[in-house]
Amino acid sequence: MCYENTLRSQISPRSLLISTSDNRTQSISTVSRLWEPMAYPLLFPHGTLGWGLRPSAQDPSAITLDGAESDTPTTQIWHYRARLLREPRFSIFGRLTNEYVVDMFSRELDARLTYIRVNQERLRTQEQDSALMGHEDLQDSENVYLPASFLGSGRWSSNQIADSLTIAAAYGPPTFFVTFTCNGNWPEIHSRLRPGQTYTDVPIVVCQVFKQKLSRLMGLFRTMFPNAGRLLYSIQRVEFQKRGLPHAHILLKYSKECVSADDIDRVISARIPEAADDAKIVRQFMIHPSHNSNVISNIPPSSQNPLKYCEKWKGGARVCRFGFPKPTQERTSIDSSDRVLYRRGDDDVFVVPHCLPLIRKFECHMNMEVAGCGQLFQYLFKYVHKGICDIRFVDVLRSTSLSPQAQIVQSSVSRRKTRVKSQLMRSMNTGVAGT
């Protein structure tokens, strides 16, 4: 759990509760080496100790370990990384491995948040950011402050947006906006599956393959479009679908503009190709799923007829959030709101804009759009750096013991959706954002 503008009285430390044979309970903290063998006996059948720190002498309830074995020579992330990459059992216990990854990264996150919580005064002084908390004289004991160095915090996202906009101000708005999605059926992934497994059971392999493919793609962007000139900058952000695959949002800026219809058509297509092999690839990866024809568009959403992920209820009808089916267009043009209308025929109304040579090479869903028109780039930078997905719970505190300043700031608690592949990407030092 991560928290912003959260009172310390709302925070309770995470621990593992053990019930003994004499009906007593013993708690194990998140920095104990006993956590892993006690929580995952199938992964550690011999009781092998995991990562941990020496227990504090002031904690009488802590379980102590004697001998040199209690010393831990490495950091948390490197400890988990070595285990996941070297020990084959983590590729066998698919779903249990996923739970282990989330739990262990949550331990590391809990340790970082604990450090932030107990060093509030120094952190606030360093960043001189107390004014953003709602009042310059806000007491250190009242509110938990997340600095910009904490990945996923509001200040981190704000800094990412500011850096991106500064680059755009110096070199101009981006030329293209690309969304590159991992394909769970890539041969590099499929060849590592055991009988009965799917890509969700091998998250380590998925992250490694996706990172390699993304690196190759970024290299191609430097040489693939010679008519667009030199690549001036690129900004990328890796995100993770709910229970799904990683995908990267990429902003590209080239030295030459791409705003005429002919220039756009040389790079981007929204049509089904005439060649049979190319048409098969486009139909496999670049067709937006059609809406349920069995449900009348003006039937309100219900438990029997829910909205699809791409639908919204607007004006008494079910409407696609992405505007499909798209209108037919004889020639590529730019409308009054600076949006590109790609050339389409009657059979192309559900085709997602793409670059055909890239689809041939990577065989995955890869949406590519022109991004340099008008004010679109401002929205794109905010979209790319929209931050770690979270659920925000608002709770208006009614305690009269708090100061007025704390009552203004107090009520927002953010709980992070911790996804398996996102934690693996960070654990293996592959990053989630870059320029």
Backbone CA torsion sign across 81, 86, 87, 89: positive
184 vs 365: CA distance, rounded Å: 11
**How many CB atoms are located within 10 Å of the residue 123 CB?**
18
**pLDDT score for 335:** 82
Across the range 127-138, mean pLDDT stands at 48
- What sign results for the dihedral spanned by CA atoms 154, 159, 164, 168? positive
More confident residue, 305 or 131: 305
- Please state, in angstroms and rounded to a whole number, the distance separating the CA atoms of residues 396 and 401: 14
Per-residue model confidence as pLDDT tens digits over 353-405? 999 999 999 999 999 998 865 455 566 666 666 655 433 323 323 333 434 33
Which residue intervals of 237-366 are DSSP H helices?
Answer: 261-267, 276-285, 356-362
- The pLDDT of residue 141 is above 50: no
Helix (H) or strand (E) holding 316: none
Q: Does the pLDDT at position 113 exceed 60?
A: yes
pLDDT at 353: 95
Give the C-alpha separation, 338 to 341, whole Å: 9
Average pLDDT value for the chain: 76
* Structure token digits, residue 72: 């831990």
**Alpha helices, DSSP H only, in 235-290?**
261-267, 276-285
Q: What residue type is assigned to position 211 of the chain?
A: K
- If one compares 29 and 128, the residue with the highest pLDDT of the two is 29
3-state secondary structure (DSSP) of residue 340:
strand
Q: Express each pLDDT in 221-271 by its tens digit.
A: 999 888 888 999 998 888 887 667 899 989 899 998 888 888 899 999 999
The pLDDT, as a whole number, for residue 178 is 94
Range ranked top by mean pLDDT from 111-115, 197-201, 371-375 = 197-201
- In which band, very low, low, confident or very high, does the pLDDT at 68 lie, cut at 50, 70 and 90? very low
Q: What is the pLDDT of residue 28?
A: 85
Nearest to 270 by CA among 332, 336, 361, 226: 332
pTM above 0.75, yes or no: yes
Q: pLDDT value at position 96?
A: 92
Task: Record the tokens describing residue 315, joined without a space.
Answer: 């004006």
Confidence of residue 9 (pLDDT cuts 50, 70, 90): low
